[in-house]
Amino acid sequence: MRNGPLRVFFYSNEGDPREPPHVHVIAGGDEAKFWLTPEVSMAYNDGLKPKLLSQALRLVEGNRAAFEEAWNEHFA
């Protein structure tokens, strides 16, 4: 998914059952990772400025169900 400068994705090789569903959000060379369950929370931030980080969080929260469904379909 793309939204302005943000791109949301997960890596195809991340289906480790020990790690909960999550997405990565990048803008330029900066990246943040968000857990999707049990609720959306930030795993880490590597350079996203506060404004973009807030936008990323809102984007992930607003699309959590779709991201989790895509994760589950891909790794099923």
The 3-class SS string of the chain reads CEECCEEEECCCCCCCCCCCCEEEEEECCEEEEEECCCCCEEEEEECCCHHHHHHHHHHHHHCHHHHHHHHHHHHC
Per-residue pLDDT tens digits of the chain, which is 76 residues long:
999 999 999 998 886 777 899 999 999 999 999 999 999 999 999 999 999 999 999 999 999 999 999 999 998 8
Q: What is the pLDDT of residue 14?
A: 80
Q: What is the pLDDT of residue 48?
A: 97
Domain ranges of the chain: 2-75
39 and 20 Cβ atoms separated by less than 8 Å: no
Question: Which amino acid makes up residue 56?
Answer: A
